[in-house]
Amino acid sequence: MAIIKEVICTEADGSISFGNYTVADKQKVEGFKVGDDIYKVRTHKDVTRLSKNGNLVLETVPGATVHSLKIGSKGAAFSIEGKGSTMVTTELEKDTNYSIYIDDVNVDKIKSNLSGKVSFSIELNDSPQAVRIVKH
């Protein structure tokens, strides 16, 4: 997969791709509309953050490129690429149990906190890894 040159875009299946972990200077897009939702993304080598209608959707530290992000009532799915140990935080349902799969391997079970945040670490190496966060 390639870096997202336009910082954020929608895919043919309605998913969203965003981020560019290869740039040193911050890149930002505000007011990106998808349906009735307004997205904001900022990205560079240190952090990538996507917000929808002012609320966190997904953040990575350090920065990453996220491909084909889909979030629904059963969880989230996306592919991610970057460099090194990366902390991923996403906001889902509050106080809910989830399983985290990386390349179809169940790596963790986690409960979202009272604000709905789920955080986990993933080792990235410039090639995309498939991530699924599945609600129990």
> For position 2, what pLDDT does the model report?
66
| Residue 53 lies inside a defined structural domain of this protein | yes
> For position 126, what pLDDT does the model report?
76
Report the alpha-carbon distance of residue 23 to residue 64 in Å, rounded: 10
CATH, residue 45: 2.60.220
| Residues above pLDDT 90, as percent of the chain | 93
The residues pairing with 101 across neighbouring beta strands, listed in sequence order, are: 106, 132
| Residue 40 lies inside a defined structural domain of this protein | yes
Report the alpha-carbon distance of residue 133 to residue 100 in Å, rounded: 5
Report the alpha-carbon distance of residue 32 to residue 47 in Å, rounded: 19
> For position 1, what pLDDT does the model report?
58
> For position 127, what pLDDT does the model report?
86
| Residue 3 lies inside a defined structural domain of this protein | no
| Residue 2 lies inside a defined structural domain of this protein | no
> For position 44, what pLDDT does the model report?
94
Domain that holds residue 94: 8-135
> For position 38, what pLDDT does the model report?
97
> For position 5, what pLDDT does the model report?
75
Single out the residue of 109, 71, 63 nearest to residue 90, CA to CA: 71
- The radius of gyration of the chain from alpha carbons, rounded to an integer in Å, stands at 14
Beta strands in 19-64 (DSSP E): 27-34, 37-43, 48-52, 55-61
> For position 6, what pLDDT does the model report?
84
| Residue 1 lies inside a defined structural domain of this protein | no
Q: How many domains does the chain have?
A: 1
What's the DSSP call for residue 82? -
Contact (Cβ atoms closer than 8 angstroms) between residue 18 and residue 7: yes
pLDDT < 50 stretches in the chain: none
Please return the burial class of 115, using the count of CB atoms within 10 Å of its CB with bins 0-12, 13-18 and 19+. exposed
